[in-house]
Amino acid sequence: MTSPLQLEDHAPWRQRFRSGNLGYVYVAPESPSSGIVHATLGGPAKRIFTWDTSSGDLRPLLPDGETPAYGWLGPKGDYLYYLQDDGGSELGHIVRVPLTGGPAEDLTPDLPPYTLRGFDISRNGACLAFDAVYDNRYWFYCIALASDGSSSPPQLVYTAREETWACHLSYDGALLAVKSTHRAPHSRRYTTLVFNTNSGEHVAELWDGSDYSVEPVQFSPLRGDERLLAASNASGALLPLLWDPRSNERRDITVPSAAGSVLPLDWSPDGGKLLVQTRAGKHEGLFIYNLNDEDLLPLQHEPGAFRGRTGPYHTGTAASFFAPDGTVWAQWSDASHPSQLLSLTTTDRPKPILPVAHCPPGRPWRSVSFPGSDGVSVQAWLGIPSSSEGSEGPFPAILHVHGGPSGAASNAFDAPSQAWLDHGFAYLTVNYRGSTGFGRDFQEKINGDVGRWELEDMVAARRWLIGEGIADPNGILLEGGSYGGFLTVWALSQEPDLWAGGIAPVAIVDWTMNYEDSSAAMKGWARMIFDGTPQEKPELYRDRSPLTHAAAIQAPLLIFQGRRDSRATPRQMERFARKMEALQKDFTLVWLDSGHGLPSAATAEHIQETHLKFAYRVLGLQGRDVD
């Protein structure tokens, strides 16, 4: 049975939102005492702090209210670079700020506002490369950075209409590697292209065939060494490789002792070792791979989840990396413990690097699986509330679907899920078809057939929860944001009798209108997942839009939406709200003055409180006040 609605200020679920949240860290490779930390520390908003790695001192760098989602530190620790946008819209210009403080300098004043899909600075600090998406194209520019602090205007190196992501520069900035879908424009099967940054000349391509994907990770950290660390799934599992674009010499790295895919994260400063992430059973693991003797050595750590490559563009740096002292610094969490930066070795227990804020412990998750409608195994993570009150289920339940759809839920800390568990709800987050990490067929099953297989897997998850005696059939609510928001509203419209309610912070409800209003980067993604534009596939865009089927929705629905969102855009939600009102549906829409992400931990806490009140109302539970 559920507990009373916990609205008191000291409630454990509130403390988890307030206890501090580590976003990412970055250490300047040529100035290892200089770093930046993006986190919620001692206040309600995420901020970027300068970090003296020797003394541990942290200092806010940017003014209050200036909270970019991601920033990069110059290799010499001199400047912070970030996309300065309009209130989280993800449309803006790259600026830089001295780490000593000062005004932001716009490095691309003559370009229109753009979305970023790649960023890098060469190890010697002489070249900055970025992937700007605007006018329905992907534009790769380079900026020369002089030692006196001056910079050149952006020089165009390459442009493409198909999705082309990421920027990786060689040590001296002479070579730029990107990942392109030009050979498979309606799937995210990549080929790696390399260009000369001075002339724009196409130097080489690394392609493993139309059925596979090969992606750049990082150039060698050594001066004069132009080998590129990359990853390919041509063997059936993702494995590292080293490739010289000029000579075309290639070395595939096989790791017989590893289970499944081996994701390369970082290259040691001496060039002799790789940091890789792999999976053993249900647990993720970090390992050191010695390039000379081909040994794979496990780093000592507890089971949990490690962040891979950080940033919204899978570029910049790894969240787990070789540290200045020769150890590995890794961002680790599990469902019960928030993210923290740990120092890992192959012999000793992990040691914390940054102070860890006090946080009430959460409930653990366990990995479960069940068959989809076609017999394919679907994996999910399950949390069960405490049985201290004598109840073993069935419970009211949250069936959560992650965004993306590329990406996957993992055994990582999540404050909202723990809030549900505190209140006596079971919590299941599903890695539905379209999620990454379960093979190419699993991931690409949804392409050109948006919504069908994801919904099949959600229904299978519901069936499993009921069959196991975990969930009350009349008390299952859907929850998901972004693409998960679309799936939540979509499922309410397609299987209206199965759900007690839906909660969708940011959602796409009209694919055609969203295409018209969204950023150029989002348009490229929509063309890929729908296998065409709204003009080419008008019936598919219309049929897979929840707006088309709004009359079928029976369960109450709650949506938070950002006024500045360039992914799930405002106009399509305004139209949906008018239709739901005309149909006299139980629908609550709350507008935020933000973009696709949440601006602060305080906002996230407020949204979770609203979610809890909504659930208690629609399920008729204790604490029905929803003001």
- Provide the pLDDT confidence category of residue 318 given band limits of 50, 70 and 90: low
Q: Does 90 reside within a domain?
A: no
- Model pLDDT, residue 248: 96
C-alpha torsion 614→599→139→153, nearest 10:
170
What is the sign, positive or negative, of the torsion defined by CA atoms of 560, 562, 563, 567? negative
Asked whether residue 283 carries a pLDDT value surpassing 60, the answer given is no
Residues 144 and 64 reside in one and the same domain: no
Residues 341 and 370 reside in one and the same domain: no
Residues 330 and 446 reside in one and the same domain: no
Whether residue 112 has a cis bond before it, omega within 30° of 0? no
Q: Does 2 reside within a domain?
A: no
- Provide the pLDDT confidence category of residue 246 given band limits of 50, 70 and 90: very high
- Model pLDDT, residue 69: 80
- Provide the pLDDT confidence category of residue 359 given band limits of 50, 70 and 90: confident
Instruction: Give whichever of 140-144, 147-151, 233-237 has the largest mean pLDDT.
Output: 140-144
pLDDT, tens digit, 9 for 90 and up, residues 41-72: 766 677 889 999 989 899 989 887 777 888 89
Asked whether residue 258 carries a pLDDT value surpassing 70, the answer given is no
Average pLDDT (73-86) is: 92
Average pLDDT (463-470) is: 97
Phi (first) and psi of residue 93, to 5 degrees: -130, 150
- Model pLDDT, residue 624: 41
Residues 519 and 458 reside in one and the same domain: yes
Average pLDDT (179-205) is: 93
CA gap 334, 550 in Å, rounded: 38
Residues 382 and 332 reside in one and the same domain: no
CATH code for the domain of 556:
3.40.50.1820
- Model pLDDT, residue 186: 77
CA gap 272, 277 in Å, rounded: 17
Find out whether 455 and 32 touch, Cβ atoms under 8 Å: no
Average pLDDT (387-403) is: 81
- Provide the pLDDT confidence category of residue 622 given band limits of 50, 70 and 90: low
- Model pLDDT, residue 314: 46
539: burial class by Cβ within 10 Å (0-12, 13-18, 19+)?
A: exposed
- Model pLDDT, residue 256: 74
Q: Total domain count for the chain?
A: 4
577-615 exposure pattern, b = at least 16 Cβ within 10 A, e = fewer: bebbeeeebebbeeebebbbbbbbbebbbbbbbbbbbbb
Q: Does 88 reside within a domain?
A: no
- Model pLDDT, residue 627: 42
Residues 222 and 245 reside in one and the same domain: yes
CA gap 137, 132 in Å, rounded: 8
Q: Does 627 reside within a domain?
A: no
Q: Average the pLDDT over each of 315-319, 347-351, 443-447, 533-537 and give the range with the smallest value.
A: 315-319
Range(s) of the domain holding residue 337:
263-360
Residues 132 and 210 reside in one and the same domain: yes
- Model pLDDT, residue 626: 42
Determine what percent of the chain is predicted with pLDDT higher than 90: 69
Residues 307 and 450 reside in one and the same domain: no
Mean pLDDT for the chain overall: 90
Asked whether residue 378 carries a pLDDT value surpassing 60, the answer given is yes
The token duo for 460 is: 């299978």
Q: Does 304 reside within a domain?
A: yes
Residues 346 and 374 reside in one and the same domain: no
- Provide the pLDDT confidence category of residue 438 given band limits of 50, 70 and 90: confident
Q: Average the pLDDT over each of 199-208, 437-446, 501-510 and give the range with the smallest value.
A: 437-446
pLDDT, tens digit, 9 for 90 and up, residues 548-606: 999 999 999 999 999 988 899 999 999 999 999 999 999 999 999 888 887 678 888 99
Asked whether residue 19 carries a pLDDT value surpassing 90, the answer given is no
Residues 576 and 454 reside in one and the same domain: yes
- Model pLDDT, residue 41: 75
Angle at 172 between CA 167 and CA 175, to 5 degrees: 45
- Model pLDDT, residue 308: 63
Residues 284 and 238 reside in one and the same domain: no
Q: Does 67 reside within a domain?
A: yes
Asked whether residue 310 carries a pLDDT value surpassing 80, the answer given is no
Q: Does 9 reside within a domain?
A: no
The token duo for 319 is: 């969240």
CATH code for the domain of 137:
2.120.10.30
Q: Average the pLDDT over each of 5-9, 152-156, 283-287, 506-510 and give the range with the smallest value.
A: 283-287
Which has more pLDDT, 314 or 514? Answer: 514
Q: Does 544 reside within a domain?
A: yes
Whether residue 32 has a cis bond before it, omega within 30° of 0? no
Residues 119 and 243 reside in one and the same domain: yes
Asked whether residue 32 carries a pLDDT value surpassing 80, the answer given is yes
Asked whether residue 389 carries a pLDDT value surpassing 50, the answer given is no
- Provide the pLDDT confidence category of residue 182 given band limits of 50, 70 and 90: very high
Domain C-terminal end among 218, 252, 286: 252
Asked whether residue 313 carries a pLDDT value surpassing 60, the answer given is no
Domain C-terminal end among 61, 80, 99: 80
Asked whether residue 625 carries a pLDDT value surpassing 90, the answer given is no
- Model pLDDT, residue 609: 96
The token duo for 322 is: 């070789």
| Spatial CB neighbours of 51, under 8 Å, sequence gap ≥ 6 | 25, 34, 35, 36, 37, 57, 58
Domain C-terminal end among 226, 252, 278: 252
